[in-house]
Structure 1
Amino acid sequence: MDAAVISDADYLQLLPKTELHCHFVSTMDAALFIELAAKYAVTLPSDDPAELFDFDGLVDFLVAFRFAHDVLREPEDFERVAYDGVRAAVAGGNLRYREYYINPQYFAERGLSYPEVIDPIIAGLRRAERDLGVGFRLVVAINRRESAESAVDLVRQMIAHPRAEVVGLGQDDLTPENTEDPTRFAEAYRLARAHGYRLTAHVGETPSATPDAVRQAIEVLGCDRLDHGYRIVDDPAVVALAVERGIGFAVTPVSTTFCSGWTLDEEHRIRRMIDAGLAVAVSTDDAMFFRTDLGREYREGLTALGVDLDTAKTIALNGIDAAFCDDAEKERLRADFRAQFLALDAVRSR
């Protein structure tokens, strides 16, 4: 075999990629997380990543996710995580565009205002964009452990402190009852929509979730895109609704092995979503916590799901279609991706 021929794994690793479902604090690497915890005397369960990131399901993971916010306190912390996270994602999976979930409510509990959180993140990502050409946008996330009134207050903060880079509203974590309950925050969503923000939500993810949560996010909240959404395949009518509305799904293969205990194989719900014609795009969710990166999600995750290379390219392009950036940036990304596909296909066919 010609030495120039690359393997399917290398092909998937080198495909240009977007990432639409990425929690900002999870773009830290483990060493930096432990370093910052020591800096601020934050007690971690362990300083060994093998133990620190050992979770017993989604609820257990969310406890760790919350305390990760404790280690980001100064502007330079946020900016460093932002910049270094882009560098790592380019090296680990050829990232070309990313949208970040930001949780200002977690930081407000620690005395940081909305601008004090958002502005240094933007500064770090702008610097990475200049150096590495990776575009970005921010999605502000409602913490579902907080009240519906708190969610409305959060949207009012977004309106009071507009930033061009902040383009969407989402919701994550779980309610105090450990449920999704997306419509609890309908008023916040109506306010965000009225002020031009795009909408998404974590739904259909948990073992107790139903496809009706996906339907509610589409029909009641008016979401443009959804995170996870795996339970949708339990109801063909909701699948048909999502296809008709052109709803994109930001799925995260590796995280489902931790949070849901599912095996990555051809019977997986994500593969069933792809086969049903849903517009699936792949992300990491929480890369540090799940010991993953974009390259692994494609190289190992899609391969385990039985996804072929042509479908992998479609998935990469789906991420552009479902992004919350403007049309000009989408066209630039599509041209970049098509050029890189050509180059990869040429090498592979030698």
Structure 2
Amino acid sequence: MSYVSRANPAKLELHHHLEGAAPPAFIRGLAKEKHMDISGIFDAQGAYKYVDFWDFLKVYEAATSTLQSPEDYARLTRAVLEESAKSGVIYCETFLSPDFCGGRDVGAWREYLLAMREAAEAAERDMGITLRGIVTAIRHFGPDKARQTAVCAAETVGDFIVGFGLAGDETSGAPADFKWSFDCAREAGLHLTAHAGEWGGPESVRAVLADLGVSRVGHGVRAIEDLALVDQLAEQGVVLEVCPGSNVALGVYPSLRKHPIGELYRRGVKVTISTDDPPFFHTTMQAEYAGLHAAFDWDDGVFAEITQTALDAAFCDADTKTKLRKRLETAHD
């Protein structure tokens, strides 16, 4: 069976920002309700508008400013999961930032978390998509705020909050600056990931592995510039959360055909496929699959292998993985 003959295979997504997945119409609606003027972040067609990665961060934070209460985040969670389910996503790990949810106050964070979790549980019942959260420090907010974020993560670790990560501007500070936060999260039993190798070169990937001890790397694609590092990733089984459409939209690579995911996969690196901030990059998980099929002629066998990699690398508990494995087996029969 060829890839194109299966309309919408079941998918797992490991690199996904909840606020960054907010449909533009949803954010415009919130802004109208709150009498906020953020019209400057949209183009004439109503899509998000930015000129480069750093402008993207500003637009992202402007859009997020409309999310001001646990109820707003519950509505967001529902809207985002509806979109993901349309692409056949049955499991998603999303980055959640206490910076945006209660200002890193543990009590307030718990209220936001409860609202998101209840919305996620309803979506799982209604749409068959399972959500788990990775508490994420924002790198350009600095290591002191990251410590507060790590405490929020440690205080709420469980079957819903399963990981801790680092996102934001890779040029801000060094991974070692966040070692305390990652040690705190690790001691609490959280799995670890960090963005690297998107805007930083191979050295940034080496740094998050050596200084933060992560098992997964967000993006990580510029490791291809150092083949010794590529061999290390393959030998150690480090999983890359690759977001091809995001990388092309932001200009890291000129096209999917020029994207290194094909070469990384060929060299034995464990790669997965994600959308990052899908409406910002005009993508979906289904579009990512179609694009990679066209660029590299990947078929059902390759996508099934990558899905299995994502399942093995997922931060959820064993019972959840067992349920997901059964769903995948049923879907592939």
With the length of structure 1 as denominator, give the TM-score of the two structures: 0.88
Match of 2:100 among 79, 101, 106: 106
Match of 1:170 among 152, 165, 169: 165
Match of 1:41 among 35, 38, 41: 35
The answer to whether the Cα contact below 8 Å between 2:216 and 2:240 also exists between their aligned partners in 1 is yes
| Deviations, residues 226-280 of structure 1 (Å, cap 9, x unaligned) | 1100111111222222222211111111111122342334432121211111111
The answer to whether the Cα contact below 8 Å between 1:265 and 1:306 also exists between their aligned partners in 2 is no
The answer to whether the Cα contact below 8 Å between 2:196 and 2:205 also exists between their aligned partners in 1 is yes
Query: Which runs of 5 or more residues in structure 1 are unaligned?
Result: 1-5, 343-350
| Deviations, residues 175-226 of structure 1 (Å, cap 9, x unaligned) | 6xx44732221111111111111100010001xx121211121222110111
Superposition pairs of residues 245-284 of structure 1, within 5 angstroms:
245-284=236-275
The answer to whether the Cα contact below 8 Å between 2:157 and 2:189 also exists between their aligned partners in 1 is no
Aligned equivalents of 1:197 and 1:18: distance in 2? 20
Aligned equivalents of 1:199 and 1:276: distance in 2? 24
Q: Which residue of structure 1 lines up, in the alignment, with residue 203 of structure 2? A: 212
Q: Which residue of structure 1 lines up, in the alignment, with residue 131 of structure 2? A: 136
Structure 1 residues 162, 46: CA separation in 2 closer, same or farther (over 3 Å shift)?
Answer: closer
Which range moves more in the overlay, 239-248 or 140-149?
239-248
Structure 1 residues 85, 318: CA separation in 2 closer, same or farther (over 3 Å shift)?
Answer: same
Deviation at residue 165 of structure 1 after TM alignment: 0.7
Aligned equivalents of 2:310 and 2:204: distance in 1? 22
Match of 2:192 among 199, 224, 227: 199
Q: Which residue of structure 1 lines up, in the alignment, with residue 115 of structure 2? A: 120
Aligned equivalents of 1:288 and 1:172: distance in 2? 18
Deviation at residue 130 of structure 1 after TM alignment: 1.8
Q: Share of identical aligned residues, percent?
A: 27
Aligned equivalents of 2:104 and 2:183: distance in 1? 28
Structure 1 residues 171, 10: CA separation in 2 closer, same or farther (over 3 Å shift)?
Answer: farther
Deviation at residue 62 of structure 1 after TM alignment: 1.0
The answer to whether the Cα contact below 8 Å between 2:198 and 2:252 also exists between their aligned partners in 1 is no
Aligned equivalents of 1:142 and 1:40: distance in 2? 27
Aligned equivalents of 1:216 and 1:110: distance in 2? 26
With the length of structure 2 as denominator, give the TM-score of the two structures: 0.92
SS in 1 for 2:206: helix
SS in 1 for 2:198: coil
Structure 1 residues 326, 160: CA separation in 2 closer, same or farther (over 3 Å shift)?
Answer: closer
Which range moves more in the overlay, 236-245 or 183-192?
236-245
Runs of 4 or more, structure 1, over 6 Å off, are none
Q: Which amino acid aligns with 1:21?
A: H
| Deviations, residues 68-91 of structure 1 (Å, cap 9, x unaligned) | 211112322211111222122111
Aligned equivalents of 1:109 and 1:132: distance in 2? 31
Structure 1 residues 74, 106: CA separation in 2 closer, same or farther (over 3 Å shift)?
Answer: closer
Q: Which residue of structure 1 lines up, in the alignment, with residue 20 of structure 2? A: 26
The answer to whether the Cα contact below 8 Å between 1:264 and 1:304 also exists between their aligned partners in 2 is no
Deviation at residue 108 of structure 1 after TM alignment: 4.0
Aligned equivalents of 1:150 and 1:213: distance in 2? 21
Structure 1 residues 225, 155: CA separation in 2 closer, same or farther (over 3 Å shift)?
Answer: same
SS in 2 for 1:79: helix
Which range moves more in the overlay, 56-65 or 42-51?
42-51
Match of 1:308 among 299, 303, 314: 299
Deviation at residue 319 of structure 1 after TM alignment: 1.2
Query: Which runs of 5 or more residues in structure 2 are unaligned?
Result: none
Structure 1 residues 287, 271: CA separation in 2 closer, same or farther (over 3 Å shift)?
Answer: same
Verify: 1:14 aligned to 2:8, yes or no.
Answer: yes
Q: Which amino acid aligns with 2:328?
A: F
Aligned equivalents of 1:248 and 1:335: distance in 2? 22
Deviation at residue 46 of structure 1 after TM alignment: 5.0
Deviation at residue 55 of structure 1 after TM alignment: 2.4
